[in-house]
Structure 1
Amino acid sequence: MKNLSFRIVDPKTRAFAVMSSKTGVRKRSLAAIKTLVTDRFDEFQLFRGRLNEVEAISLTEDSKKALEHCYSSPTEALKAIKEEMKRSLKEQYGQIALRCSYCQVRDPSCWDHYLPLSRFPEFSVFPPNLLYVCSVCNTKKGDLVQEDKKRFLHAYFDNLGDSSLVIAVISFHSNVVEISFDTHPDIQGLSPLHAAVCEHFEFFDLKNLYLRKAKEYLSSILQPMQKYKSGNLSYREYLRIIEVEKSRIPVNSGKNDWKLITIDAMETHASEVIRFVNSCPMAPAPSLAPIDGWEY
């Protein structure tokens, strides 16, 4: 989980450019509610750190359909917004491939309306309400709203700071390696935002997603260790391997990147890992405990 910077200049003007490209009845319907929509854009900006508090409003059926059509019907103005947002994300991720704005692990392939299109059509083409996400997260979130509490983090506006939000624990049982992820105990119950981090982590099942990725990654590190250093791996050699792995993780991945969290856990549990690798010199590469039908 990491913050992204929203870099679209004058998003209200960009949204109205899409609306003004409509014709006929839709154009007239949109012109009639322009002041209302402008006020809603201002409300979005005002509540950007607590968008779960934004309430839906009543709109006529014609207005709702016209607003939804702004997104469902391709226009050059909307295409330009999406392309500019993609370019901005590529600049921020740098050498890292683009990632879903919700799980920040899988590749993004579609756009999600943070405030659902079905309930908040006035934000259908408002750039701050559009997030580039993966199909899995998009389907899971669907049209859910957050009336009772904040359940989804907004990558642009929920300031997570630079604190550790997620931790990993590594343990060894016989020839099986186990790793688990959870939100950091120090943040639980601290503030509404931290509570939202826990909700987000649980809702998008990041615990198991990180686990699946970490198992493959752990195997790629532990197998060579056990093959070439088993019985003779020193603490110094181990730390050097960890430092090399850490240096391969781009700085802009963020402090709560699953791979960096995994490496931090390997550093924290250094003695146990070394003992495990050295305990069975002729043993085959370690197996990893299966989860939810996903195994090696």
Structure 2
Amino acid sequence: MIPSISNAQQTTDLLNLYSYSNSIISKLKIKLTTSEFNRVENTCQNCTIGEVSSFDHFLPKDEFPEFSVHPKNLIPSCSKCNGKKSVNWRNGLNSLFLNLYLDNLPDTQYLFVNVDHNLDFTFIIDNRNHIDLDLFSVIESHYIKLDLVNRFLENSNKVVSELSNTINSFKNKLPRAEIIDSVIETESSNRVLYGSNYWQSILKLTLVNNAVFMNNFYT
């Protein structure tokens, strides 16, 4: 895609249209972060970790000023993702990031958690389920460029604590299998809302299906 604006004054005028605090942009943010059930989901869609505090211009506004306020070029983002992406978006003809408006994300799982015998775990991106190679290449680049695997790990303690509290609350009231089934049911619903590769759900599902982890609550 080649920028179509060559006049310097036109470029300046177009860039001046964008301001995150602009009332129209603020209304757009509210619309984009409000679910069909009228609930505000103020979570960055690039990482599902941080709160939305900016709009990421998928096509950099300095390179494409004509898209500086185009709704489909503005992706609700946390400041960390926005900073890591910066003005980068392609390598030659290949996109470096997922376009969350245009790319059809697969329902197939590509985010996994490996757990060792000490219950230390790592997140990995893997194409064991045979996603289209071109799409998987963009997915892999998106996760690497935004450092998502490490950021998931850094934010995982709270998720593990929440899961542990749930298990401890019910371990004397329900059989172990029912607790596992309940967690699976809850996280299956969350994956419908947040995507098949929602990192918190993948982590919880991996842990409740890990015998060593579950045995910690029954010794």
TM bin, normalised by shorter chain, reads 0.7 to 0.9
Q: Residue 120 of structure 2: SS of its match in structure 1?
A: strand
The answer on 1:125 being equivalent to 2:69 is yes
Instruction: For 1:145 and 1:246, locate their aligned partners in 2 and report how far apart those are by CA, in whole Å.
Output: 32
Counterpart for residue 186 of structure 1: 128
State how 1:89-100 maps to structure 2 within 5 Å: 89-92=33-36, 95=39, 97-100=41-44
What are structure 2's unaligned runs of at least 5 residues?
none
What are structure 1's unaligned runs of at least 5 residues?
1-53, 282-296
The answer on 1:272 being equivalent to 2:212 is yes
| Length-normalised TM-score, structure 1 | 0.62
Q: Residues 217 and 119 from structure 1, CA distance in 2 versus in 1: closer, same or farther, beyond 3 angstroms?
A: same
Higher helix proportion (structure 1 or 2):
1
State how 1:108-119 maps to structure 2 within 5 Å: 108-119=52-63
CA contact (8 A) 2:15 2:61 kept: yes
Q: Residues 190 and 224 from structure 1, CA distance in 2 versus in 1: closer, same or farther, beyond 3 angstroms?
A: closer
Counterpart for residue 66 of structure 1: 13
The answer on 1:262 being equivalent to 2:211 is no
Counterpart for residue 107 of structure 2: 162
Q: Residues 120 and 190 from structure 1, CA distance in 2 versus in 1: closer, same or farther, beyond 3 angstroms?
A: same
Letter in 2 for 1:274: M
Letter in 2 for 1:261: I
Q: Residue 116 of structure 2: SS of its match in structure 1?
A: strand
Counterpart for residue 183 of structure 2: 242
Counterpart for residue 83 of structure 2: 139
- C-alpha RMSD of matched pairs (Å): 3.2
Alpha-carbon offset, residue 59 of structure 1: 0.9
Residue of 139, 152, 156 corresponding to 1:197? 139
Q: Runs ≥4 in structure 1, deviation > 6 angstroms? A: none
Residue of 105, 116, 131 corresponding to 2:49? 105
Q: Residue 131 of structure 1: SS of its match in structure 2?
A: strand
Counterpart for residue 252 of structure 1: 193
Say which structure, 1 or 2, has more relative contact order (CA 8 Å, 6+ apart). Answer: 1
Aligned residues: 217
Instruction: For 2:194 and 2:20, locate their aligned partners in 1 and report how far apart those are by CA, in whole Å.
Output: 35
Counterpart for residue 117 of structure 2: 172
Q: Residues 203 and 251 from structure 1, CA distance in 2 versus in 1: closer, same or farther, beyond 3 angstroms?
A: same
State how 1:27-106 maps to structure 2 within 5 Å: 54-57=1-4, 59-72=6-19, 79-92=23-36, 95=39, 97-106=41-50
Q: Residues 146 and 236 from structure 1, CA distance in 2 versus in 1: closer, same or farther, beyond 3 angstroms?
A: same
CA contact (8 A) 2:20 2:26 kept: no
| Length-normalised TM-score, structure 2 | 0.81
